């Protein structure tokens, strides 16, 4: 499982660029949620449950990002 992050300094010069970044981040979060669920299979029952709870929170956060995108797009 290889994953690289680029620097997170962004100059948001327009609403369109900001929305595009938010869409990318929501997609990125969804991908991470999938990866985390895959790792849960290799953990103890208690640890796996904590990962599942963390994924639920991540998914709720991603849902809020998606709602903000929809509201911003009008």
Report the distance separating Cα 50 and Cα 41, nearest Å: 12
User: Which pTM value belongs to this model?
Assistant: 0.77
36 versus 3: the higher-pLDDT residue is 36
Note whether residue 10 is domain-resident: no
What is the number of domains present in the chain?
Answer: 1
Note whether residue 58 is domain-resident: yes
pLDDT (0 to 100) of residue 74: 82
Note whether residue 35 is domain-resident: yes
Query: Helices 45-73 and 15-40: crossing angle, nearest 10°?
Result: 160
pLDDT (0 to 100) of residue 24: 98
- CA distances to 5, 12, 41, 43 from 62, in Å: 18, 20, 23, 24
pLDDT digits (tens, 9 = 90+) for 15-68: 999 999 999 999 999 999 999 999 999 999 999 999 999 999 999 999 999 999
């Amino acid at each position: 499982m290889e994953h690289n992050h680029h620097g997170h300094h962004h100059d948001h010069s327009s609403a369109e660029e900001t929305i595009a970044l938010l869409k990318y981040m929501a997609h990125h979060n969804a991908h991470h949620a999938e990866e985390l669920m895959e790792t849960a299979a290799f953990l103890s029952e208690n640890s796996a449950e904590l990962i599942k709870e963390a994924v639920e929170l991540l998914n709720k956060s991603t849902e809020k990002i998606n709602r903000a995108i929809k509201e911003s797009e009008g």
